Homo-oligomer: A and B are copies of this chain.
């Protein structure tokens, strides 16, 4: 029972099978195949507008190249202090944008709008010494399994608009957030002011399928060169297209996300009932962060259950005792209710 990460799963059977289906035959490389085009159109349908879609290999690539598309000299991308871009990408966004990331505070993994305003204010126009803001990025779902609701996205996007900054959404767990909010992709993005999305499929059942999606294709004019220069243009690009084709077919992606979220809720119920654990906060996607008594954690590990300890977020500092620890459990399309219930028994 591996709850270490949703990327410890392999690929959903339907996605793996679709790769086999498309393995034969020949087709233009570098994204020019019929299948690539068909899937690009599916993105248009999903977002209810013409978007510009670019497949890339990793979520870090999606974020880094999205930010490259809006980079500025001395530019700063403002994002939550615990954002994946800051904490888990080895400086890739800075490397590709030749700029920096500006950490913004906020409880429960979300940037606080007033803190974001303060952060923007650190860069007065034309004050070269500090640099200049280049973009705002939110993570949906956040690194700690919470979600910006539509109003919260709107509040961030108003700040972005006021300062003429593009708004990016790191959607490594886009589908997990979408099904929780029960809104459309359009509502969660451009209708709420989001300009660019890192659209992740890998954590939700694909082998390797990530895309940068520009809501306004005009903003993507230079992106083909950005992607190629970054070594992210795949020759047999249709191996990504084939994954997305199956991912979207019959709303598989929503089904897998819904399942993963439900497994997390089921686990949260067990945790809430357990005398050995309490929830750090309420999960909203496919990750739950309990504060486990050290004995219970050891018991789980002894039973072969894999999960990661987690550095407590800033707003939780000081609330965790010496005999307990914050931990992260992640569920995926491949998690079974039985897995959860067995884990629950160990915590009872």
Contact = CB atoms under 8 A, between A and B. Distances in A.
Contacts of A100: 91, 94, 100-101
Interface stretch (A45-53, A55-63, A144-152, A248-256): A55-63
A57 B90 contact: no
A293 interface: no
A303 interface: no
Interface string A209-246: 00000000000001011111111111110110000000
A24 interface: yes
A346 interface: no
Contact of A73 (B28, B68, B76): B68
A87 B232 contact: no
A185 B1 CA distance: 40
A89 interface: yes
A87 to B, nearest CB: 7
Contacts of A230: 92, 95, 230-231
B226 A73 contact: yes
A94 to B, nearest CB: 5
Contacts of A278: none
Interface in A115-169: 126, 128-132
A19 B23 CA distance: 11
A16 B22 CA distance: 9
Given A5-B235, A23-B207, 10 more contacts: A7-B29, A19-B207, A57-B57, A58-B235, A61-B231, A89-B231, A100-B100, A131-B229, A207-B236, A207-B239
A128 B224 contact: yes
Nearest to A2: B26
Copies of this chain in the oligomer: 4
A14 to B, nearest CB: 10
A88 interface: yes
A280 interface: no
A89 B29 CA distance: 15
A92 to B, nearest CB: 5
A188 interface: no
A10 B29 contact: no
A312 interface: no
Ranked nearest first, the 7 interchain pairs of A and B with the lowest CB-CB distance are A61-B231, A7-B235, A16-B23, A73-B225, A74-B90, A207-B239, A74-B225
A7 B239 CA distance: 12
A162 to B, nearest CB: 20
